[in-house]
Amino acid sequence: MTDDARVINVLLVEDDPGDVLMTREAFEEYLHNRLDVVTDGAEALAYLRNEGQYADAPRPDLVLLDLNLPRRDGREVLAEVKADPTLSAIPVIVLTTSQAEEDVLRSYQLHANAYVTKPVDFDRFIEAIKQIDHFFVSVVQLPGGERAI
């Protein structure tokens, strides 16, 4: 990331502690963006709607969403986010272990902005997170912000 790239707020919705740890490490070592983490779908919706303990949470510029979550699964979260006019412009990247064609198809039907299968190898996982970050920070223009390049 270049020094003039803007910092974005990223919300990771992930219940696997190992994947949370790897993502945090990628952000701490290689990326300069803010990362907040919630561990289930109900928390994700509360965070996005600034409810309860998340009343002062920043609006994320990007959501990294696992599909298989407790309480409310990722598909439900994705459907609610994309149906809500106040949230629908936030890019949502499905970041999951599933390679099932029905999960890919359903995610895009629910208007996911991308579908990424998590690599199981640590170095490849870190590289995937860095590529997602580069694309959404340096290449595309997000709502409410300038493109970094």
- What string of H, E and C letters represents the secondary structure of 48-88? HCCCHHHCCCCCCCEEEECCCCCCCCHHHHHHHHHHCCCCC
Scan for tokens 């994320």, then name that residue.
60
Which SS3 state, helix, strand or coil, does residue 15 take?
A: coil
> Residue 140's pLDDT is what?
74
Residue 2 within a domain: no
pLDDT tens per residue across span 74-104: 999 999 999 999 999 999 999 998 899 999 9
Residue 147 reports pLDDT greater than 50? no
User: Does a structural domain hold residue 67?
Assistant: yes
Residue labelled with tokens 């969403």: 65
On the question of pLDDT at 1 being above 60, the answer is: no
* Amino acid letter, 34: R
Higher pLDDT, 137 or 105: 105
Q: Is residue 61 part of a domain?
A: yes
Cβ contact 102:109 at 8 Å: no
Q: What is the pLDDT of residue 3?
A: 45
Q: Is residue 55 part of a domain?
A: yes
CATH number at residue 97: 3.40.50.2300
Residue 149: the pLDDT is: 36
Q: How many CA atoms lie within 13 A of 147 on its CB side?
A: 6
Residue at 4 is within a domain: no
pLDDT at residue 2, rounded to an integer: 43
- Establish if 147 belongs to a structural domain: no
Residue range of the domain that includes 61: 9-139
Instruction: Dump pLDDT digits (tens) for 103-135.
Output: 999 999 999 999 999 988 889 988 998 888 888
Residue 24 lies in a domain: yes
| Cβ-based neighbour number of residue 141 at 10 Å | 10
Residue-level pLDDT at 148: 39
Number of structural domains in the chain: 1
Better-predicted residue by pLDDT, 8 or 110: 110
